């Protein structure tokens, strides 16, 4: 079956029509039912001869009992398997397109040449197979992969084309961090989705373009109201904000502390004790949580801090996730008492980027409202951009020299924007002229900006035959022009 927007509408019709009082009552009752947290299958490259296979396909998924939705997935009906690769290896991944429409697969956070990056230029046509060989040369980190076909990224990711990509190395293994996948090392892909009578629907219209698609229901690994049974000890959570647009302001219901140990680029130099953590779309974090007290506890998210006040009021009026704290996942410790958990004092040493080596400063402003007529008609084409230009596949916006370090100053209009740069790691130098905060630690590939943020960027990967992208990671903004591209020679 070919996936189209119409598939969503058919799914909604099968679910039972308009949003009635009965629908709201049914949704409330169904949402109260707990379900076991789904853990994506783990596929280790070394166990498969460094040759992996993904198939992008259409399927049907039951998010709620006795209700099915038209969805997309890799090797399944929704989301994809967790891929684990090892530093120093070369891994072939054969990606076959069974969707009936174009797609691509971006390896978000992987430091590889532009022609392997899986952005808009690496189109996979229907029935075709793309076979990149990925050189894994970076430290251990939690990455992810997702569709990046221009103009339809938001729809395809919303429907399920995303999965986790874990890089491991010997230095990380020597630390003795929790590492039993699915037991004390849990992947958590955080998303919000809109449902009608229990079936997934695709929000349309001006608001979906302006502030991105935001849902009325939270999911973790595609599970609504999940429960995870964990050992009574130290547990590692790999958190990925896989939502199209919303932020997750994370904290435990009992206000327990946890240790933040990794950002997008990998492990921090030392753990940071925290009681809350905010993730914008595309951002990742790893945390260690001590469950040795045996008490069940929920991980919650607060109101979406990325929306301006007026947009937030409109979102809540349209039945999106509300103004209070919402449950993401409930953890239930089990098993025998474990020894008191110990968090390492030190993690890894980083070779810091040197600001004195910066050879150039560039400025980028993410602009909105460039084509208000298109916005009012519910179309976004050309209304969003960067530095006043909407994305053009045939235009190289910036040219960078391989091996150079630069300062990029980035700001955003009207609201906070998660800014992602392909093919690089960067450090945050300043926010609005002041020193960066604790949350800006570590190597990054995605960062939230509104007021000016200075980034120190090193370009270690070539992009000659195919450019890298930089863009807002609110996927509807990206699809509608808030993206540029750069060559590295």
Say if residue 372's pLDDT is above 90. no
pLDDT in the model for residue 346: 97
> Which of the two residues, 122 and 317, has the higher pLDDT score?
122
Say if residue 284's pLDDT is above 70. yes
Are 301 and 249 in contact by the 8 Å Cβ rule? The answer is yes
The encoded tokens of residue 69 equal: 């939705």
Say if residue 321's pLDDT is above 60. no
The single-letter DSSP state of residue 111 is: -
pLDDT in the model for residue 10: 46
> Which of the two residues, 453 and 383, has the higher pLDDT score?
453
Confidence category of residue 375, pLDDT binned at 50, 70, 90: very low
With pLDDT > 70 as the criterion, what percentage of the chain qualifies?
A: 86
Domains and CATH numbers, the chain: 5-172 (2.60.40.420), 185-334 (2.60.40.420), 355-488 (2.60.40.420)
Bridge pairing between strands 405-412 and 358-367? parallel
Instruction: Say how far apart CA 233 and CA 468 lie, in whole Å.
Output: 42
pTM for this model (two decimals): 0.92
**Average pLDDT, stretch 402-414?**
97
Return the sign of the alpha-carbon dihedral for residues 394, 400, 403, 409. negative
pLDDT in the model for residue 21: 47
Query: Which helix (H) or strand (E) covers residue 343, if one does?
Result: none
Burial of 254 (0-12, 13-18, 19+ CB in 10 A): exposed
Q: Which residue has the tokens 């000659």?
A: 464
pLDDT in the model for residue 378: 41
**Average pLDDT, stretch 232-240?**
98
Say if residue 129's pLDDT is above 70. yes
Burial of 36 (0-12, 13-18, 19+ CB in 10 A): exposed
For 272-329, give the secondary structure using H, E and C.
EEECEEEECCCCEEEEEEECCCCCCEEEEECCCCCCCHHHHHHHHHCCCCCCCCEEEE
Mean pLDDT of the chain: 90
Q: pLDDT digit string (tens) for 39-48?
A: 999 999 999 9
Are 284 and 142 in contact by the 8 Å Cβ rule? The answer is yes
Please tell me the least confidently modeled range out of 346-350, 402-406, 467-471: 346-350
Length of the chain: 489
pLDDT in the model for residue 374: 42
pLDDT in the model for residue 345: 95
Say if residue 254's pLDDT is above 60. yes
pLDDT in the model for residue 2: 55
202: left (phi over 0), alpha (psi -120 to 50) or beta: beta
User: Which residues have a Cβ under 8 Å from the Cβ of 29 and sit 6 or more positions away?
Assistant: none
Query: Which helix (H) or strand (E) covers residue 264, if one does?
Result: none
User: Dihedrals φ, ψ of 75, to 5°?
Assistant: 65, 15
User: Which residues have a Cβ under 8 Å from the Cβ of 59 and sit 6 or more positions away?
Assistant: 70, 71, 72, 73, 76, 77, 78
**Average pLDDT, stretch 351-359?**
93
Say if residue 316's pLDDT is above 60. no
pLDDT in the model for residue 306: 74
With pLDDT > 90 as the criterion, what percentage of the chain qualifies?
A: 81
Say if residue 369's pLDDT is above 50. yes
């Amino acid at each position: 079956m070919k996936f189209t927007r119409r598939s969503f509408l058919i799914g909604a019709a099968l679910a039972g029509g308009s949003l009635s009082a009965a629908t709201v009552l049914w949704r409330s009752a169904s949402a109260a039912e707990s379900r076991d947290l789904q853990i994506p299958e783990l596929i280790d490259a070394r166990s498969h001869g460094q040759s992996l296979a993904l198939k992008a396909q259409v399927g049907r998924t039951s998010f709620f009992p006795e209700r099915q939705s038209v969805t997309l997935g890799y090797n399944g009906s929704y989301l994809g398997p967790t891929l684990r690769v090892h530093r120093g290896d070369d891994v072939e991944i054969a990606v076959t397109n069974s969707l009936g429409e174009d797609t691509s697969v971006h390896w978000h956070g992987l430091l590889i040449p532009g022609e392997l990056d899986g952005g808009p230029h690496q189109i996979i046509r229907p029935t075709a197979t793309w076979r990149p060989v990925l050189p894994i040369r970076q430290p251990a980190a939690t990455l992810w992969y997702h569709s990046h076909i221009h103009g339809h990224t938001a729809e395809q990711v919303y429907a399920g084309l995303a999965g986790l990509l874990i890089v491991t190395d010997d230095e990380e293994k020597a630390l003795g961090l929790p590492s039993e996948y699915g037991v004390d090392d849990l992947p958590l892909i955080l998303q919000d989705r809109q449902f009608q009578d229990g079936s997934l629907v695709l929000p349309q219209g001006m608001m979906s373009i302006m502030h991105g698609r935001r849902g009325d229901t939270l999911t973790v690994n595609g599970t609504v109201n999940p429960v995870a049974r964990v050992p009574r000890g130290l547990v590692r959570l790999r958190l990925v904000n896989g939502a199209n647009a919303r932020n997750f302001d994370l904290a435990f219901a009992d206000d327990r502390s946890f240790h933040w140990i990794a950002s997008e680029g990998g492990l921090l130099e030392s753990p940071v004790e925290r009681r809350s953590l905010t993730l914008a779309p595309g951002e990742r974090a790893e945390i260690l949580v001590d469950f040795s007290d045996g008490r069940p506890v929920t991980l919650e998210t607060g109101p979406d801090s990325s929306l301006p006040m007026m947009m937030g009021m409109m979102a809540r009026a349209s039945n999106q996730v509300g103004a209070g704290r919402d449950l993401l996942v409930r953890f239930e410790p089990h098993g025998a008492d474990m020894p008191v958990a110990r968090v390492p004092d030190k993690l890894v040493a980083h070779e810091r980027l040197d600001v004195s080596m910066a050879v150039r400063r560039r400025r980028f402003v993410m602009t909105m409202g460039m084509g208000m007529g298109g916005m009012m008609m519910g179309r976004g084409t050309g209304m969003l951009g960067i530095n006043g230009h909407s994305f053009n596949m045939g235009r190289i916006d910036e040219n960078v020299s391989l091996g150079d370090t630069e300062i990029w100053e980035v700001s955003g209009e009207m609201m906070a924007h998660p800014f992602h740069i392909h093919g690089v790691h960067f450090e945050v130098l300043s926010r609005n002229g002041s020193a960066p905060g604790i949350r800006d630690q570590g190597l990054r590939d995605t960062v939230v900006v509104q007021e000016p943020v200075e980034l120190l960027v090193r370009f270690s990967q070539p992009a000659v035959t195919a450019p890298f992208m930089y863009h807002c990671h609110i996927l509807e903004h990206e699809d509608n022009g808030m993206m540029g591209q750069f060559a590295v020679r």
